[in-house]
């Protein structure tokens, strides 16, 4: 069983179906619920969006990483093609409000800016927004979601491809309670906090550079309760099976104030 946020038709569902043959999906209301379901043993796996090529990092997920115990065991890049959907018979000129996930709204900023009289309202998930639009009966309401949601919820496509770019991808991670490294794992994710003094972050990054490893992601998030101090998330192209990489992990742990090894995994494309 795998947990994901949203409902049928969500992009998270597409990723679950790619990662797991005949996936038994448990839909959760929030990202926090997905983490909790895995942490408490309700589901062995959970799937979460972490970064979009247009709108950037899903900071809510990064912040939740600090509050839960988990490991990343898989990842995938999912192409995201947003459409504008509404009840059959609705015209774009009828629309006064568009609902969707906040990330989807950001990914379609140019379309929304071209229609300034239409109010954009964030909801928990694109598919949840599509189900809401279908139930509402409102012909002044539209939703940004996948084309699959049109068939699922009896909506019509008003506009195809309303994304700012045709090259729109979201990275998803699959989390589990226990650390498992599958064959082919080639990316390592770490959560680090550095001493609050000059050069501390540089020293961590230089350790990685000396090994000739590619740092593909560096995300900083504020540490609650500490003024302007940050925790860092590193993604590194590497395998823990490599002895030099294991030695590097030891060096980073000794250098950092705190280090959490989040996982070593392969990313599906």
Q: Which of 18-22, 85-89, 115-119, 175-179 is least confident?
A: 18-22
> Has residue 175 got a pLDDT over 90?
yes
Query: What pLDDT sits at residue 5?
Result: 96
Q: Which numeric CATH code is attached to 2-79+169-176?
A: 3.40.190.10
- CATH 3.40.190.10 location in the chain: 2-79+169-176, 83-159
pLDDT at 228 over 90: no
What is residue 166's predicted lDDT score, i.e. its pLDDT?
85
Please report the pLDDT score of residue 9 as a whole number: 95
Residue 229 in this model has a pLDDT that exceeds 90: no
Phi, psi torsion values for 33, nearest 5 degrees? -65, -35
Determine the Cα–Cα distance for residues 88 and 119; give it in Å rounded to an integer. Answer: 20
What is the residue whose two structure tokens read 């959490």? 260
What are the backbone angles phi and psi of residue 19, rounded to the nearest 5°?
-75, -35
CA dihedral 185, 187, 192, 196 (to 10 degrees): 150
Q: Are 23 and 51 in contact (CB under 8 A)?
A: no
Mean pLDDT of the region 183-208: 92
Assign 196 a pLDDT band (cuts: 50, 70, 90). Answer: confident
Q: What is the pLDDT of residues 147-164, one digit of tens each?
A: 999 999 999 999 998 999
Superfamily of domain 187-268: ACT domain (3.30.70.260)
pLDDT tens digits, one per residue of 115-155: 999 999 999 999 999 999 999 999 999 999 999 999 999 99
Active site residues: 170, 172
Comma-separated ranges of CATH 3.30.70.260 domains in the chain: 187-268
83-159 has which fold? D-Maltodextrin-Binding Protein; domain 2 (3.40.190)
| Average of per-residue pLDDT across 23-42 | 96
pLDDT at 174 over 90: yes
Asked if 181 and 75 count as a contact pair (C-beta separation under 8 A), the reply is no
DSSP string, 70-132: -EEEEEEEEE---EEEESTT--GGG--EEEEEHHHHHHTHHHHHT-TTSEEEEES-HHHHHHH
pTM: 0.93
* Range from 56-70, 93-107, 192-206 carrying the lowest mean pLDDT: 192-206
**pLDDT reported for residue 22:** 85
- What digits encode the pLDDT tens for the residues 247-263? 999 999 999 999 999 99
Q: What is the pLDDT of residue 97?
A: 98
As a whole number of angstroms, the distance between CA 83 and CA 108 comes to 10
pLDDT above 90 (res 223): no
As a residue count, the chain comes to 269
Indicate if the pLDDT at residue 184 is higher than 90. Answer: yes
pLDDT in tens, 233-242: 999 999 999 9
pLDDT at 4 over 90: yes
């Amino acid at each position: 069983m795998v947990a994901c946020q949203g409902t049928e038709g969500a992009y998270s569902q597409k990723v679950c179906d790619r990662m797991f043959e005949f996936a038994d999906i448990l839909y959760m209301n929030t990202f926090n619920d997905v983490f909790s379901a895995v942490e408490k043993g309700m589901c062995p796996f959970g799937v979460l969006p972490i970064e979009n090529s247009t709108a950037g990092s899903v900071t809510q997920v990064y912040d939740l990483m600090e509050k839960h115990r988990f490991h990343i065991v898989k990842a995938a890049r999912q192409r995201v093609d947003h459409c504008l959907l509404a009840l059959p018979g609705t015209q774009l000129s009828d629309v006064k409000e568009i609902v969707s996930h906040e990330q989807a709204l950001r990914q379609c900023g140019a379309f929304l800016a071209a229609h300034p009289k239409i109010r954009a309202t964030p909801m928990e998930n694109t598919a949840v927004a599509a189900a809401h639009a279908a139930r509402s009966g409102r012909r002044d309401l539209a939703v940004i979601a996948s084309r699959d949601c049109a068939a699922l919820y009896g909506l019509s496509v008003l506009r195809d491809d309303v994304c700012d770019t045709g090259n729109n991808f979201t990275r998803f991670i699959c989390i589990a309670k226990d650390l498992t490294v599958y064959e082919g794992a080639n990316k390592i994710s770490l959560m680090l906090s550095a001493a609050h003094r000059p050069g501390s972050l540089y020293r961590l990054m230089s350790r990685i550079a000396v090994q000739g490893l590619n740092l593909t992601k560096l995300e900083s998030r504020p540490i609650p309760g500490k003024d302007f101090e940050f925790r860092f998330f590193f993604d590194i192209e590497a395998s823990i099976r490599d002895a030099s990489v294991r030695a590097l992990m030891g060096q980073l742990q000794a250098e950092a104030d705190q280090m959490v090894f989040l996982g070593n995994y392969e990313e599906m494309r």
